[in-house]
Structure 1
Amino acid sequence: MALNDFDRALIAATQGGLPLVARPYEAVGAMLGVSGEQVRERMASMLASGLIRRIGAVPNHYRLGYTANGMSVWDVDDAQVAALGQKIALLPGVSHCYRRPRHLPDWPYNLFAMLHGTSREAVQAQAEEVAAILGSACRSHDILYSTAILKKTGLRLKD
């Protein structure tokens, strides 16, 4: 999809994130000299066309006090993983949950759920809650704790 001048200006105005105000589309529109509705409509069109994948909040868990972050990985029965993954995704400590292909024999895990807590003990307690929901459909699991903060970025234009 070819970008027009407005698309480029919109991406440039939002690539650092939407403004943290009550009406962010109006704030972006004011920067670009258009209405907030025009911003919202064009971003929705970009989303629908696949030019952008999502519009969402990206919290900094460390700044919120959640310093023991762990990607929990689960070996779940393939016939049940979709339904069980939906339940896991609704848990309050889970920021994202998704299915991934196994890479046997070294990597048997097919369900991933990012758990956030103020301590490793808190994350472990969340993992026990996940295990209880998965029940006998889960054959094994592990928790891979974060050791560094990675820079999170959105859509960027190449110079």
Structure 2
Amino acid sequence: MSVSICRSSQGSVRDALSPDERGLDERDRAIVLATQAGLPLVPDPWGAVGRELGLTGEEVLARMRAMHERGVIRRIAAVPNHYRLGYVANGMTVWDVDDAEVERLGREVAAIEGVSHCYRRPRHLPHWPYNLFAMLHGRSREEVERQAEALRARLGEDCRDHRILYSSRILKKTGLRLARRAPQA
């Protein structure tokens, strides 16, 4: 599991503030530092973090929820290594769909099994007409292409064009990291 404290894609002024500028106290900062590289893979990860910091697991979880509500933590999520799970064909599908329908279609696409994430992005005409992105994973390119064709059929006449952009290498996936503070003299 990873804890992401990246700026949200909304890009608001509030999101541009550093965690300290949002009222991150020393306990919250300690929780972020203890979890930013991942939660412990134990039955009670909140308790394990709490024991490390002199807090209860309930306190850790409550503080993380509060930081999430304030926008300090964007999400807490499992980040699987698809390659180790045998999913060696990873394709970002990009779709040119009607802007008036993209929100509805995005929710439908995101609910499809096999879509790990789905989001809207701005078009960059005339070179890039795509506004809906959905990541598909398969054990082969043929499997990803079958998934994309099923997705294409589901989008129907709302889809004008699409492409599949395959991953060519694994990139390190990490969010923003807080630096440990130097001891004060």
TM normalised by structure 1 equals 0.96
Offset at residue 4 of structure 1 (A): 2.1
Equivalent position amino acid for 1:150 in 2: L
Check whether the contact 1:84–1:133 (CA below 8 A) recurs between aligned residues.
no
Any runs of at least 4 consecutive aligned residues in structure 1 with deviations exceeding 4 A, and if so which? none
Distance 2:44 2:85 in 1: 23
Q: Percent identity?
A: 65
Report how far residue 59 of structure 1 moved. 1.1
2:127 aligned residue: 106
Give 1:95 deviation, angstroms. Answer: 0.4
Are 1:9 and 2:52 matched, yes or no? no
> What pairs up with 1:23-38 in 2 under 5 angstroms?
23-38=44-59
Select 2:81's aligned residue among 60, 76, 79. 60
Structure-2 separation of matches of 1:151 and 1:125: 28
Please tell me whether the aligned partners of residues 28 and 39 of structure 1 are also in contact (alpha carbons under 8 angstroms).
Answer: yes
156, 159, 173: which one pairs with 1:138? 159
In structure 2, give the amino acid aligned to 1:133.
R
CA distance in 2 between counterparts of 1:136 and 1:158 reads: 49
Unaligned runs of 5+ in 2: 1-21, 181-185
- Which position in structure 2 is the counterpart of 1:97? 118
Using structure 2 for the length normalisation, give the TM-score.
Answer: 0.83
Q: Indicate the RMSD between aligned Cα atoms, in angstroms.
A: 1.1
Superposed displacement of residue 8, structure 1: 2.0
* 1:139-158 equivalent positions in 2, closer than 5 A: 139-158=160-179
Task: Tell me how far 1:84 sits from its aligned partner.
Answer: 1.3
| SS, match of residue 130 in structure 2 | coil
| Matched residue SS, 1:9 | helix
CA drift at 1:154: 3.5
- Structure 1 position 71 matched with structure 2 position 73: no
In structure 2, distance between residues paired with 1:53 and 1:92: 23
TM superposition shift of 1:3: 2.7
Gaps of 5+ in 1: none
Q: Deviation of residue 155 (structure 1)?
A: 4.1
